[in-house]
Each structure stands twice: as C-alpha cells, then as structure tokens.
Amino acid sequence: MIRRLGLVAGVVGGSLAAAPPAWAHGVGGRQDLPIPLNWSILVAAVVLVGSFVALGSMWREPRFDTQLDPVPIAIPGSRLLAGVLAAGGLLALVVALLGGMIGSQNATRTMSPYLVYVLFWLVLPFGSAVLGNLYTPANPWRTVARAARMPDKPVPPRLGVWPAAWAFLVFTWLELVAPTGGEPRTLSIAIIAYSIWLLGWIVPYGADGGLRVADAFTAYNRVISAIAPFGRDPDGRMVWRGWLRALPKLPAWPGLTAFVLIMIGTVTYDGLSGSARWTDWFGATARQTWFGSLALVGVTVIIGIAYYLASWAAARLGGAATSTRHVADRFAHTLVPIGLAYAFAHYFTLVLFEGQRLASTASDPFDRGWDLFGTADWAIVYWFPTTAIWWVQLGAIVVGHVLGVVLAHDRALVDFPKRNAVRSQWAMLGLMVLLTSLGLYILAEG
C-alpha cells in the first residue's frame, strides 16, 4: 500500500526527436472537448434519426443503386503519374525492407515505420477515397509481377477476398497488438513474409487475380476508392461517376462482408484498448499479447454479430423472402463510409503530425547521420489547432454514419417492397446510433 508518493512532472526540452511510436495505439487521449461528449452524442443521434426520417419521406426512389452513367475524362499526365506512383512504391518497399537490415532500430528515427504505418496504411487509402485508387498503380508487388509477365489464370470464385480479409486482420494485429510491431526489424521480416504470401497467390493466378484475392491492401483500397468520384471503366479509361456511386456496384465477392466488418472492428479495438475504461477493466492483462489478440478478434466478432442481428431484423421486417446472410452481404457496402470515417477520425492527427517525420527521415532513412535533402533536423510542427481536432472527428463520425444510413436506405428501396423499405432499416438505424455513440466515446475517452 502506497502512502507517500512524490511526483514531479515538468518540461525538460522543446520538441525533440524521441517521441513514443504513436501508432502503438493510434491517436487517443481524453480530449479537451469544445462541447461535452454527451452533447456530441446527442447531436449525432439527432442528426442520424433526422436523416432517417427525412429519407423516408423524401427519398422514395433509388438514386445510388442505379445504372451508372460514367463520363470519360482526360487527366493530363495520368500515365506519368501512374509511373511515378509505381516507382515510388518500389522505392518505398526497398527502403522499408532495408530499414530493419542496415538501419538502426530506433523506430522514430528510421523511415520504415513511417512508410508502413503512415504513408502506406493511412495516406494512400485516404487519398484513394478522394482521388480514386492510388494503391493499384503504386503497388510494388503488382509492378514486379507485371514486369515478370506472370500469366493470368481464372481464380476460383469461392475464394472471393477471404485470404485478403485474413491478411488484413494479421496486419492490424501487427500494428495494434504485436509487442514489437513498430520496430524496423519486425517490419522487414513482415515485408518478406508478406511478399512470400503474395507470391504464393500470384504464381497460380497471375498479378491481377492473385492480388485481388490475397492482398489485404488491394482489397482495402479497392473498397475505399469506391467512395471517390473518379474511377476506371472496364477498359481502363478514367471516368467521372460521382461520389459514392461505385459503392453499390462493388462486386459481391465472398468474404467482402467479413472484410468490411474487420475494417470497423479493428479500429474499434484500437480505440477501446487505449481507453481508461479498458485498463480499469482488464488491468495489466490488457498488455499481454494473448489478451490483445483475443480482444482484437473478440471486438470484431461482436461488431459482426451486431451487424448480422440488424440484417436479421431487416430480413424479417422487409417483407421479401430473403435470408439474413443475403441481406448482410447486400448491405455490406453501406459500412464502407463508416470504416473510412473511423480510420480518418482516429488517425488524421497521426498523419498531420507524425506524418511530418516522413520528411525528416527521408533525409536519413536508416538513422546513419545522413542529411540527403537537408531536412533531417526538421521537428514536428503541431500546426493544426487543438480545438478543431474534435470538430473534425465529430464531423467524420457523423458524416460517415449518415452516408451509411443513406446508402442502406437506397439499397432497401431496391431489395425490399417499397412500403417496407423504411421499416426494414429500423434495426440498422439503431445499430448506427449505437456505433456512432461508441465511436465518439472511444475518441473522447481513448
């Protein structure tokens, strides 16, 4: 029993280079909220329910889930851009791979953790959500497989994106649970293991088929980029199709529902595991790898069960002869904006602040005292106003869920008799309100 505790806390220096690796738990912390959490949740719930009511009375015909009418657009230099992305992807892979071999193991002074956890994991998908899929042209494994002219063979349809979904879960485990997940050496080993995994799929099915089935990041960026107004038509030409329009057109690959649920579940685990409540409940056990692994899967499974319950209710209330599983698959795309919103709300400050280390570590990628571009001494500038962070997070969560409700309503008009479309979504609305509250709670208390 501690009776006397002497505690001194103070500033010993200005911005220095030795920060704790922030991706260990994304960005959390009980924020100094500009409006109280209860009010935020109330506002979000009112906006959601209000949108739902408005949709029921004003949105009576499907608008998203209709024939696409893509307009071809010419983007000058798009071939050059694709070439630059491909070269950048290869270079990043080589630098990240070498990081654990020739560099120091100081995670904050070596480039590879920033390449993997900021550029590859956050910046590319966020960019894909606005500009269209940036990952496919940048994908270094695709570049190599294409150069090697691996023959394409038909992929068994039942595989869908299941292997990619498992790979995604393993990657998030590496980021959020593995004790040394942020160390350059671990990343080098992971890159080698992942390259072997992909090779095992590219050899039998070719570059496009193999990556589509097994590459977690191909699937992730493919799903996220369906939000973007730009895309490619089947002939590979750039088209403008409008925001969100490609989401209802995502192919019904087996495993896609699980993939989207894993996207949401793993970010939720990230937030929950960093919250004060979590350590209150589980104490030191929460830091054990076995517990983190179980909890990562457990949180994802709970989110999945909640979604299947809402789908079950939709199947019952919708009045169409359909199964829970079919409904769950048909509405999986409506969760994509929510998954992106979670990721964005959690990690955008990581991109804004820690992302700046991409510039400083680029000058000295292996922590060897180099200064290639004269940026090695750049310190992080915390330029984004603290008070605005919560507004961005609140905005992202609310907009993500409202878009989910809109897309679900749109799909319900297609899949169910029109008079039942609104009531089929009651349980889904309940789930959205629940997820919004949970998401905001996690962000505020994380």
Partner 1 sequence: MLSELRQAVTLGDEVTIRATSDAPGELHLHGYDLFLELDPAGSVELTFVANIPGIFEMELEATHDLVLELTVSQ
* 8 near partner 1, rule: CB under 8 A: yes
* 374 near partner 1, rule: CB under 8 A: no
Least Å from the CB of residue 276 to partner 1: 4
CA-to-CA separations, 342 to 102, 294, 348, in angstroms, rounded:
36, 21, 10
x/- map, 135-174, partner 1, by CB under 8 A: ----------------------------------------
Which helix or strand (DSSP H or E) is residue 47 part of?
helix 37-58
* 27 near partner 1, rule: CB under 8 A: yes
According to CB under 8 A, which one of 217, 353, 416, 441 is a site residue for partner 1? 353
Least Å from the CB of residue 179 to partner 1: 13
User: Rounded to an integer, what distance in angstroms lies between the CA atom of residue 432 and that of residue 428?
Assistant: 6
* 31 near partner 1, rule: CB under 8 A: yes
Q: Which of 318, 338, 307 is nearest to 407 (CA)?
A: 338
Least Å from the CB of residue 113 to partner 1: 14
Phi/psi class of residue 244: alpha, beta or left (left: φ > 0; alpha: ψ in -120 to 50)? Answer: left
CA-to-CA separations, 179 to 175, 193, 288, 292, 384, in angstroms, rounded:
9, 18, 9, 10, 30
17 vs 203, beta carbon nearer partner 1: 17
x/- map, 279-318, partner 1, by CB under 8 A: xx--xx----------------------------------
14 vs 151, beta carbon nearer partner 1: 14
CB 422 within 8 A of CB 56: yes
CB 252 within 8 A of CB 325: no
* 80 near partner 1, rule: CB under 8 A: no
Greatest Cα pair distance, the chain, in angstroms, is 73
Q: Tokens 């319950």 appear where?
A: 309
User: Rounded to an integer, what distance in angstroms lies between the CA atom of residue 410 and that of residue 217?
Assistant: 28
CB 156 within 8 A of CB 209: no
307 vs 353, beta carbon nearer partner 1: 353
* 16 near partner 1, rule: CB under 8 A: yes
According to CB under 8 A, which one of 81, 170, 359, 380 is a site residue for partner 1? 380
Q: Which of 116, 89, 120 is nearest to 100 (CA)?
A: 116
* 180 near partner 1, rule: CB under 8 A: no
Least Å from the CB of residue 36 to partner 1: 13
List residues binding partner 1 (CB under 8 A).
Answer: 1-16, 18-20, 22, 24-25, 27-32, 274-276, 279-280, 283-284, 349, 353-354, 379-380, 382, 385-386, 389, 446
